[in-house]
Structure 1
Amino acid sequence: MAIDVIDLRDFYSQRLGIVARRLINRGIQAHWPNMEGQCVVGLGYPTPYLGLFREDCERCIAFMPAAQGVLKWPTARPALASLVNEFSLPLQDAAADRILLVHALEMSDDPENLLREVWRVLSPSGRMMAIVPNRRGIWTRTDTTPFGHGRPYSRSQITQLLRQTWFTPSAWGEALFVPPINGSWFLRSAAAWERVGAALSLPFAGVHIVEATKQVYRPIAAKREHSRLIPVLPPVLAPSSCSTDE
């Protein structure tokens, strides 16, 4: 289900991809304006968006799933990107302050286990943010962009998935109201599309931007203990002592 890392890189180097990155970055920055002193981890293909935090945060790492592939990032500096098993991240428990998921949930074969692994490495006071294709959006109707691949989600589906994996949604946003058309007029008017779409709460945004907090005391399924059955034994005659009259 995962899209190849080369296709992702090529999309974000095109004019449509540049516009999409700029619009989504606005939504991310609205929720996370200051990352100074934070440890930020991106999972999926987050490198077009981690540039917002790389200069200010304490540590910034990009993890890319093995099925997708990895590219060096940043290109002109020591590498901060690594190829990983998305269900077994090379981090200790509660190691990250912020985790950004981009092209991750919709591409994963097991999104529940992916989010449980994110829960493990996120600090108790941390935040997780996911950029997820909107099931009702126009961008999911075409496979010419990465947002048209994988499984899109409705808002209720994301909420259910987060609650099943011990997260609580804390903030919502949308982006990519502009149609995914490479025409010059559409790209020049992208900011106007975003303003109108957000003001009218139109349902066809390309992506959901959801922030969630970690449930520190997660629910644990109760196991019913079975009482130990003691078998009933049939009665047995006890041996009696025999006396002999002399």
Structure 2
Amino acid sequence: MALDVTDLRSFYGSPLGETARRFVGAILARRWDSVVGLSIAGLGYATPYLEMFHDHPLRLFAMMPAEQGVVNWPASGPSSSALIDDSMLPLPDSCIDRMLLAHALENAEHPHELLSEVWRVLTPGGRLIVVAPNRSGLWARLDTTPFGHGRPYSRGQLLDLMRESLFSPIYWSEALYTPPLQRASWLRFAPAIERVSGRLSLPGAGVIVVEATKQLYRLVGVRRSRRTLSQFAPALAPALTPRPFGLGPPRNAARKQDGAPS
């Protein structure tokens, strides 16, 4: 069951949610440092991370699935959010330069259909960033945060899903090493925990961040040949072939031909 949009908004309004937004947002800012003149869309609940690009791109809007619900965003000015069906995005082909999926892939009923739609609306060479819960991290094991709901992923699972959907991963990162606790004492040490754990590439991060490009050709994989029995052995005829009744020479005629007495 997908999270309600009010729960997501409440989480990002808390100190722990602000910590998550800051750490994940730092990775996004490094990857998309120049978005002037580009069209950017967020899918799922990506508005906490889209705010850092608000003054630079050509177009910036958020799409939220119907199962989750939608909120007006941004808080001031014309609304740039829409309620959508994530299996049929209301966009023409090749119109988005950058797509951000946050709280989307893990809650999608059909992840392949979702990524196929994202592939369709991205421009040639367009880029996709997915923020997904890490199945081996502590955040995915506790349902006190939005990252503890839905289907968590390992890096290998994300890699297979991307390739099957015609995306080529070009960058991997992890974030949220700090425990998902609202205690002020833990949050005070969160930057140090994040910095040291990231440098040492320790396991157990809360989320996996993968960036991929739209692939315009299909990879040539190993063909699986369908071998039949005829490839291993010659065709065999049945030893006994039934003959319909009433056809062929009578039994007495066959004996006469062999010289047998009638």
Give the TM-score, by structure 2 length: 0.83
Matched, 1:127 2:131: no
Give SS of 2:195's match: helix
Give the alignment of 1:159-174 within 5 angstroms. 159-174=159-174
More displaced, 30-39 or 101-110?
Answer: 30-39
> Counting helix residues as a fraction of each chain, which structure ranks higher?
2
- 1:24 aligned partner, one-letter code: V
Does 2:63 align with 1:33? no
Partner of 1:24: 24
- Higher relative contact order at CA 8 Å, sep ≥6: structure 1 or structure 2? 1
CA distance in 2 between counterparts of 1:162 and 1:172 reads 12
> What are the equivalent positions in structure 2 for 1:1-246 lying under 5 Å apart?
1-218=1-218
Counterpart of 1:180 in 2: which secondary structure?
coil
What amino acid does structure 2 have at the position aligned with 1:84? I
Unaligned runs of 5+ in 2: 224-262
Q: Residues of 2 paired with 1:200 and 1:178: CA distance?
A: 14
- The 3-state SS of whatever aligns with 1:49 is helix
Q: In angstroms, what is the RMSD of aligned CA positions?
A: 1.5
Corresponding letter in the other structure for 1:5: V
The share of aligned pairs that are identical, in percent, is 51
**Aligned partner letter, 1:74:** P
1:77 partner letter: G
The alpha-carbon deviation at position 194 of structure 1 amounts to: 0.8
Gaps of 5+ in 1: 223-246
- Alignment: residue pair count: 223
Shift of 1:189: 1.1
Structure 1: how far apart are the matches of 2:57 and 2:29? 14
Tell me which stretches of 4 or more aligned residues in structure 1 moved more than 6 Å: none
Name the larger-Rg structure. Answer: 2
Q: Cα distance, 1:20 vs. partner?
A: 0.8
Query: What is the CA distance between 1:218 and its match in structure 2?
Result: 2.9
